[in-house]
Structure 1
Amino acid sequence: MRVASLLPSATDMAVDLGLAGQLVAVSHSCDHPAAAGLPVMTRSSIGAHLPPADIDAAVSAAVREGRPLYQVLAEVLDAVRPDLLLTQGVCEVCAVTPGTIQDALRALPDSLPTDARTLSLDGKTLSGILGDVQRVADAAGVPERGEALTRAARDRWAAITPAAHAPRVLTLEWTDPPFYGGHWVPEQVERAGGVNVLGRAGQDSGRATWADISALNPDVIVVMCCGYGLADNVRFAQDLRAHAPARTLRAVQAGQLWATDANALYSRPSLGVVRGAEVLAALLRGEPTHGASVRLS
């Protein structure tokens, strides 16, 4: 089976399921080592190296005007002709959606085999993510691998030792302007032993004001800007610490401002969310995890 993945989490799932050798194309943001050298099927219309406020403005303008944030390269799709095309329906800001794929197929209607399948992954909670892992396994003809992976993930989730003191936690998936974490992130916080102060499990993330955040005055702030690794999130957290409204917050004054590897642990609906909860539990105990979290003193 020839598998094309249009988002990093789907690539991660495919590799976890032992399908690395069947990947024939990936997205521009797929960073798994197994994706190296494969044809790239997508591109973003937003510059990746803009400051956070400029990225937010560009995304907001594109959504307001009905312009797609991503493009599928129809000529690559035509060249690789996958049997299984993995996309997502969780967030139009994060990756290619089924509608964008349909636009590409209209340009090249014969670019997929007649029996090709497009599978849209839509898990917004841990349970939904594990369900998507099984759906990919079933579609690829390896259901037993999906069963083994999801069982191991549930066991590992259950084995997490939560922080004992139940600190009040704010997760920020964007810092300028501030957006709180949604979807599976509130579950991760609760499993780690924290009290999530903004956002609900399974619901979209949302924009917050500094007045909202000041009123909540959380004990811990975790910076996990969507689409970025640890080094970038350290930089975003440093900028946040220098921002006047943030300097008065309890978490910042107490040295409980943390940066994390959002790409690996929080941004993607993949098995990495289990590891993300483990890292959160450790940092709520005051323990940084090498390569995954940094405490800003």
Structure 2
Amino acid sequence: MRIVSLVPSATETLFALGLGEHVAAVTHECDFPADARNLPKVTRDVIGPGLRPDEIDRAVRELTEQGRSIYQLDGVSLRDLKPDLIVTQALCSVCAVSVDDVRAIAAEMDPVPQIVSLDPHTLGEVLGDVRTLAQATDAKDAGVDLVQDAAARIDRVRLAVREAPRVRVAMLEWLDPVFVGGHWVPQLIEYAGGVDLLGLAGEPSVQRSWEEVAAARPEVVIVAPCGYDVERGRLEAYDYADRLHALGAQKIVIADACGWFSRPGPRLVEGLEWLGHALHPDLVPEPPGGVVTL
């Protein structure tokens, strides 16, 4: 089977299912696991590098208002690859190429490949997508094992913090303008022994003001700029350190958003384990790399 993955989280899931040798091409954003970085790329970023957070936000808004994607799909390369399966998504126009563009190109291919479009909004739906990909690739046993392992790790964190006082949390997934995490993020915070003060489980991330975040009186602020690793997140946090400290939280921590929260794949469980320790360090074991604070 030849698979083209147009979603970084799907790439991670396919490799976790043991299907890496069947992945023929990925997106320019697919950087995990390391083997995915060496695969052919069939997308590129329209916006380009080197912009400030507010400039990125403005560019994304302008493109989406024009009905354009921020990612460009290389249709010629996609056709040449002759995939049996294309994995895409309809969840977020900022995160991947347009599913409509994918379907239009696939319809002109001979034979027409199978398309699996993922659209998870909760942690349960993310695990459901693991089953969907396992079913589509005849990797059912690997899918069962992956889901069972994730469920066991989730339960360990939830049991560890079940008697602990809830910690008031604000997770910021962009800093200029401020966006708070949605979809599966509030659920992860709840499972980790916290209360998400600003996000709604299963709903998209929403824009808030710095004043609204301060008024919510968070005890812990998590800086997790969408798509950034912990080092890039740390640099962003330093740039906005005055505003972050003005929120009055007891602790400001920097997350690997790209690995643990932005992508709805298997590593969300690592994010939960990291969250559990960040909120309740005496109850949940310290994760590899520890917790970076501002």
TM-score tier (shorter): over 0.9
| Counterpart residue number, 2:83 | 82
Instruction: Kindly tell me the number of residue pairs found equivalent between the two proteins.
Output: 287
Q: Distance in 1 between matches of 2:185 and 2:49?
A: 23
Match of 1:267 among 245, 248, 262: 262
- The 1:94/1:35 distance shift into structure 2, 3 A limit, reads same
Per-residue CA distance 1:204-245 (angstroms, 9 max, x = gap): 0000012211211211100111111010001111122123xx
Residue number in structure 2 paired with 1:162:
161
Instruction: Give the C-alpha shift of residue 292 in structure 1.
Output: 6.1
Match of 1:46 in 2: 47
What residue in structure 1 maps to residue 132 of structure 2?
A: 135
Structure 1: 5+ residue stretches without partners? none
SS in 2 for 1:36: helix
Matches within 5 A, 1:62-211: 62-105=63-106, 109-110=108-109, 112-114=110-112, 116-160=113-157, 161-162=160-161, 164-211=164-211
CA distance in 2, matches of 1:198, 1:78: 43
2:289 equivalent in structure 1: 291
Counterpart-to-counterpart distance in 2, 1:86 and 1:14:
10
**Contact persistence 1:230–1:291 (CA under 8 A):** no
Question: Deviation string for 1:70-104 (max 9, x for gaps)?
Answer: 11101110121110101111111111231121344
Mapped partners of 1:292, 1:68: distance in 2: 36
SS at match of 2:40: coil
What does residue 253 of structure 2 align with? 258
Distance 1:186 1:197 in 2: 9
Compare 232-241 and 281-290 and name the one that shifted more.
281-290
Point out the more displaced range, 65-74 or 16-25: 65-74
The letter of the residue matching 1:159 is R
Equivalence for 2:215: 215
Q: Which amino acid aligns with 1:283?
A: A
What is the TM-score normalised by the length of structure 2? 0.93
Task: Tell me how far apart the structure 1 counterparts of residues 62 and 134 of structure 2 sit (CA, whole Å).
Answer: 37
C-alpha offsets along residues 237-263 of structure 1, whole Å, 9 cap, x if unaligned?
1122123xx332221xx3x11101111
What is the CA-CA distance between 1:144 and the residue it aligns to?
A: 1.5
Match of 1:34 in 2: 35
| Paired residue type of 2:101 | T
Identity of aligned residues (%): 38
Which SS does the other structure have where 2:13 is aligned? helix
The answer (yes or no) to whether the contact 2:69–2:98 under 8 Å persists in 1 is no
Partner Cα separation in structure 2 for residue 127 and residue 177 of structure 1: 29
List alignment gaps of at least 5 residues for structure 2. none
TM-score, normalised relative to structure 1: 0.92
Q: Which amino acid aligns with 1:118?
A: I
Distance of aligned partners of 1:49 and 1:293 in 2 relative to their CA distance in 1, 3 Å threshold: farther
Match for 1:135: what amino acid?
T
Which range moved further: 178-187 or 38-47?
38-47
User: Could you tell me which amino acid in structure 2 is paired with residue 3 of structure 1?
Assistant: I
Letter in 2 for 1:201: A
Q: Secondary structure at the match of 1:159?
A: helix
Query: Which whole-Å CA distance do the structure 1 matches of 2:98 and 2:127 have between them?
Result: 20
In 2, are the aligned partners of 1:70 and 1:100 still within 8 Å (CA)?
no
Rounded Cα–Cα distance in structure 1 between residues aligned with 2:90 and 2:150: 23
Kindly provide the amino acid, as one letter, of the partner of residue 280 in structure 1.
L
Distance 1:241 1:130 in 2: 36
The AA in structure 2 aligned to 1:162 is V
Mapped partners of 2:36, 2:214: distance in 1: 42
